[in-house]
Amino acid sequence: MTGEPQRLDRLDRIAVRGLRARGHHGVFEEERRKGQEFLVDVVLGVDTREAARTDDLAHTVHYGVLSERLVEVVEGEPVDLIETLAGRLAEVCLADPAVHEAEVTVHKPEAPIPYEFADVTVTILRRRQ
């Protein structure tokens, strides 16, 4: 592998899906006060060849530790928009040197919409610069 990151479609993927945490994000006072459940999906673009060759966790993403950090963000400082929350989560993913790209989806199934709906999501893709 050269020193430059590959595109997500050419990298291996590690995914954590349906990570649940309670946060107080939203534009409305009621959302901030009561809080609600958010679900997070992350798909990471990683080169796992060295980890596979050595069978060593040090050469890949520790998804347990990553999940803990993601939950801390969701449970942490409130933001108005789930776009902002998704951006913060992507920053956490990209802080791991093994991660070249991160696709983050934030689900807000309890969004304040006065109609029946299944889910509201924002999905972003961020790449290491």
- The one-digit pLDDT tens for each residue of the chain (129 residues) are 445 554 545 899 999 999 999 999 999 999 999 999 999 999 999 999 999 999 999 999 999 999 999 999 999 999 999 999 999 999 999 999 999 999 999 999 999 999 999 999 999 999 988
What's residue 129's pLDDT? 81
Domain ranges of the chain: 8-127
Catalogue the E-assigned strands of the chain.
12-23, 36-46, 99-107, 121-127
Residues involved in catalysis: 108
- CA dist 60 and 56 (Å) reads 8
- CA dist 25 and 122 (Å) reads 14
Q: CATH second-level architecture of 8-127?
A: 2-Layer Sandwich (3.30)
What's residue 10's pLDDT? 84
